[in-house]
Amino acid sequence: MKARPVLIVCGACYVSGKELMALELGEGLAHRGLPVTFITSFWHDGDFAARLKHSSLPSRVLRIGFISATLTKECLRMNLEQTRRWPGLLWGYSRILRLHGPAKVIHTNWHHLLLLLPFLRPDRDLFWVHEHIPDLPQYRLVFRWFERRLGCFVCVSNSVARSLREIGIRDAKIRVIHNGITDPASPVNSPRQPNRSVRIGIVGQVAPWKGHDDLIDALAQVGQRHPTAELHIFGRSDPSYQGSLTRKAIQLGVADRIKWHGFVADRKLIYGTLDICVVPSRSEDPLPTTALDAGFFGTPTVATRCGGLPEVIEHEVNGLLVEAQRPEEIAEALCRLIDHPSLSHYLAVNARQRAVERFGAQRFVQDFQELLRV
């Protein structure tokens, strides 16, 4: 009997960790013989569509976007455009449902759930939750609607699951499946050679809540003991925010030890060059992909005790944990790793082993397939 298809609604205006995980899941399910089709947004930068094509994953395009409560001119314009397009969106989505007859539909964004609310069914639809849900009256109201119309909420971490419980979602509707990624098959990084500069890295979107400010402060403190230590910054950034970080680095006297790389797609060109990875999140990061990637590459990681990070990093086992917005703690952790190569190597070996055992793609896809029962 031919398996009924799975739809993954992933608008993907641009590619972030959520989109990468959706690709990982789609590829994994397809590899197991399940027909998978993505529903993407008309409004996008082209990156996600190109990745889907490269992976031979079919997709359908709808004018599905975001509904924002922010009262700026641009947000109001987007809301008006989405409202105007809503009847056509409903017609297009109903046509896709009739055409594919999916066994399950995986939604990755609550804005899209709201737009597609008339079609949600508990026996078919689930919400894959990649972010912490704020404990605010409007979210409590909207998510109670979702709870009645969805089979379950699949959370990427226990931290995300707690945020759902705090707004009143019942345990019976909550599942936790940690993200997993395809093993890049990289051995543990070779120990740093004497007299070579220490290469510290931060990877991902360059934004205030990611803690770049704190890491630059920490670099200045590390420089007092290790003046040749370098900071390598990978990821897309807003020019104005990058400018503010550059000015700060100049004021602290560390600008010449910071290397800006922008977005780099090949993970080997990132983690294969680093001695230490830092994830200094200030916000409740659900389950940063950066921490998973670093583990597979055997790169010891310093991370904050925010969101799902403690579910990836166990202090002094496969990395070091510090409090958020404490540059002095980040600096001390970095100096420990630089001063004690044996500790760094111990954490690196454990990081690789833990990543393979707990955060591999096979476990991740298997958990999802069992949940979907397809």
Q: CB 84: neighbour CB atoms within 10 A?
A: 10
Q: In the prediction, which pLDDT does 76 show? A: 74
- In this structure, are residues 167 and 138 in contact, taking their beta carbons and an 8 Å threshold? no
pLDDT of 192 above 70: no
Q: Is the pLDDT of residue 191 over 80?
A: no
Beta bridge partners of 7: 37, 105
Query: Where along the chain do its domains lie?
Result: 6-181+360-372, 199-358
Q: Which CATH topology does 199-358 take?
A: Rossmann fold (3.40.50)
pLDDT digit string, tens, across residues 120-171: 999 999 999 999 999 999 999 999 999 999 999 999 999 999 999 999 999 9
Average pLDDT over residues 170-185: 93
| pLDDT of 204 above 70 | yes
- Asked if the 6-181+360-372 domain carries CATH number 3.10.129.10, the reply is no
- Is residue 38 within 8 Å of 137, Cβ to Cβ? no
pLDDT at site 189: 56
Q: Three-class SS of residue 106?
A: strand
* 45 pLDDT above the threshold of 70: yes
Distance, in Å, from the CA atom of 159 to the CA atom of 165, rounded to the nearest integer, reads: 10
Question: Residues with Cβ < 8 Å from 364, sequence gap 6 or more?
Answer: 24, 25, 28, 177, 178, 179, 180, 181
Q: What is the CA radius of gyration of the chain?
A: 22
pLDDT of residue 83 exceeding 90: no
Query: Do 182 and 361 form a contact (C-beta atoms < 8 A)?
Result: yes
Name the DSSP letter for residue 305. S
Strand partners, 9: 39, 107
**Per residue in 254-271, pLDDT tens?**
999 999 999 998 999 999
Say if residue 14's pLDDT is above 80: no
Question: What span, in angstroms and rounded, lies between the C-alpha atoms of 305 and 315?
Answer: 10
Query: 6-181+360-372 with 199-358: one CATH topology?
Result: yes
